[in-house]
Amino acid sequence: MSEPPDRSRPEKAVGQLVRSVTSAIVLAAGELPWCEHGRPDDGFGYWCSLRPDVIMCAFCFGAAQAMAAPEDFRCSACGGPAPDKDRDVSVAARLADWLGVYFFLCRRCCAADAAG
């Protein structure tokens, strides 16, 4: 069992940012192909910003995380680097019965409300 680390701490502006990113993902996800293994028997897949062009089975989702290089961790709001697991935010959410998502927000975007 490997669960994604739960470092999501949506607060104020961050919560807004998370909502806007997740709703964009939901809109796009229906159009995306499934990974090379096809849709699993339970029908549940993952969208991850490490591999944004497919919906992945659990195996591919795990592999995408295991094989990710630091430069693959990019903020889903601004596209900037978000490789620092202590300061950048990882968001894991279940958006629908069939779809889980995992993406990142850099510390700059998360501090947007503090910066004014």
By beta-carbon proximity to Zn ion, the closer residue of 50 and 106 is 106
By beta-carbon proximity to Zn ion, the closer residue of 14 and 109 is 109
Per CB under 5 A, the list member of 21, 25, 89, 109 interacting with Zn ion is 109
Q: Two tokens at 23?
A: 């709703």
Residues 86-105 that bind Zn ion (CB under 5 A): none
Question: Binding of Zn ion at residue 50 (CB under 5 A)?
Answer: no
Query: Torsion-angle region of residue 38: left (phi > 0), alpha (psi -120 to 50) or beta?
Result: left
What kind and span of H or E run contains 108?
Answer: helix 107-110
By beta-carbon proximity to Zn ion, the closer residue of 21 and 75 is 75
Question: Binding of Zn ion at residue 37 (CB under 5 A)?
Answer: yes
Question: Binding of Zn ion at residue 75 (CB under 5 A)?
Answer: yes
Residues 4-33 that bind Zn ion (CB under 5 A): none
Which DSSP category does 53 fall into? T
CB distance 101 to 91 below 8 Å: yes
Q: How far apart are CA 17 and CA 7, in angstroms?
A: 15
Stretches 19-27, 42-50, 75-83, 94-102: which one binds Zn ion (CB under 5 A)? 75-83
